[in-house]
Amino acid sequence: MAERLAGKAVADAMKDELANKVQELKAKGIAPKLGIIRVGARPDDLFYEGGAKKTCEVIGMEYEVFEYPADVDQATFEKAVTDVGANKSVNGILMFAPLPKHLDEAKIRSLIPVEKDVDCMTLGSAAKVFADDLTGFPPCTPTACMDILKFYNVPLKGKKAVVLGRSLVVGKPLAMLLLREHATVTICHSRTENLPAVCADADVLIAAVGRAKMVKADFVKPGQVVIDVGINEDPDNPGKYVGDVDYAATEPIVDKITPVPGGVGSVTTVVLCKQTIQACEMQNGLA
């Protein structure tokens, strides 16, 4: 039976550490604050927002939600984002995406100041991550993967890491973070030849492809560590959610595996708060 890499233990340890940092900053007269920008009220946005707000409350960090109607026009929303970016009390910005199709999302993303871009929404932040500039914040989900691997003492130096998925939100930045830890990284996708064999060759396999239960028993091997980033509706049980990894098929084979739910997702909002605090420290010359 594989070791279950539960996200709650990681999140709880991080929350304790962050609560202490918030208190230290407040003792210096500095109050870190997250600004959440939301257009409309999509259920998935509201769910994530609720988790972020709860995490902020647990660690004692301030937050403010800037909510706009789904039919907000381009000029109004551009000014709104610019105003939030210029707000000196806000240290980190989370903007939910995708935006409604009538809005020019690329233009709006560019209005977020890089130093407050704590979820890598801008090209400037992405460039810093790919250039290994530690002042740039990677997206929260790949950072959560790295925090889980670190918490459970999974060795990466010199190991073969396979990332299944090449999105700019998870796959590509995650590859950069793994390289930072001296792993040997392969990025796979749906057109990779002999995909199961490539994945099974990994010491660490991270699935972030967005297809329910795609990773079957032939994708894994004994001794392997599997991180499942996916969150998909279960095709066999409507209303329930599963990852990109077929847990029942792979768990008896591998050494360590994250569950879905209860794995990467439970760490992501804590990372958002961690990076907001780091942004606050940098903006105040403390890092």
- For residues 164 and 85, membership in a common domain is answered with no
CATH code of 229's domain = 3.40.50.720
- Residue 286 falls inside a structural domain: no
Taking a C-beta distance cutoff of 8 angstroms, is the pair 49, 39 a contact? no
CATH code of 108's domain = 3.40.50.10860
- For residues 88 and 156, membership in a common domain is answered with no
Say what the pLDDT of residue 287 is: 80
Q: Which residue ranges in the chain fall short of pLDDT 50?
A: none
- Residue 145 falls inside a structural domain: yes
- Residue 269 falls inside a structural domain: no
- For residues 201 and 244, membership in a common domain is answered with yes
- Residue 20 falls inside a structural domain: no
Give the chain's domain count.
Answer: 2
- Residue 19 falls inside a structural domain: no
Say what the pLDDT of residue 10 is: 98
Give me the domain span that covers residue 254: 140-264
Q: What is the pLDDT of residues 218-244, one digit of tens each?
A: 999 999 999 999 999 998 888 899 999
Say what the pLDDT of residue 247 is: 97
Pairing of strands 92-95, 184-188: unpaired
